[in-house]
Amino acid sequence: MAIAYIALGSNLGDKKKNLQRALMLLMQQGVEVLQVSGYFATEPYGVTDQPQFLNAVCRVRTNLEPLALLHTLLATELAMGRVRLRHWGERNIDLDLLLYENVVMQTPELTLPHPDMQNRDFVLLPLLDIAPELVHPLLHKTVREMAAALNK
């Protein structure tokens, strides 16, 4: 069994219900949700002409390997009707695998840890809520340190 961290985001429809439904669907697929951060309203990242997001991060336990967990996240998005109209655009649900144990990997499909997590307040704020002392396996900084650096 492995511990992983997943970012959840929504900026279309009932955002809070979208996040809660995604968590429920993950649990139905055998992903054990151990902890969920508070919900954080954040400004869009990258493409700014869209509604505010509601974001959270969850800590999960799974027997799935990293790529299988990624496929489960993508299947959950699909089951919820996610449509990819534009890169970083509006979406009813977005699930990103941030960290999987201390695994460092880069494939065409998946990069771990998530390559841009240290630059995203919508990831670091919820992560700070549940795992402030978690250490990034490449940067060797805690979530608290990354969040402080981002807010300077």
Q: Is 116 a catalytic residue?
A: no
pLDDT tens string 113-126: 999 999 999 999 99
pLDDT tens string 21-57: 999 999 999 999 999 999 999 888 777 778 899 999 9
Considering 21, 96, 121, 144, which one is annotated as catalytic? 96
Q: Is 91 a catalytic residue?
A: yes
Q: Is 96 a catalytic residue?
A: yes
The answer to whether residues 10 and 21 touch, using CB atoms and an 8 Å cutoff, is no
pLDDT tens string 2-28: 999 999 999 999 999 999 999 999 999
Strand ranges, E, within 14-133: 32-36, 40-42, 53-62, 94-100, 105-106, 111-112
The answer to whether residues 134 and 5 touch, using CB atoms and an 8 Å cutoff, is yes
Q: Is 129 a catalytic residue?
A: no
> Would you state the pLDDT for residue 152?
73
Paired strand residues for 35: 59
> Would you state the pLDDT for residue 102?
96
> Would you state the pLDDT for residue 86?
61
Paired strand residues for 55: 9, 40
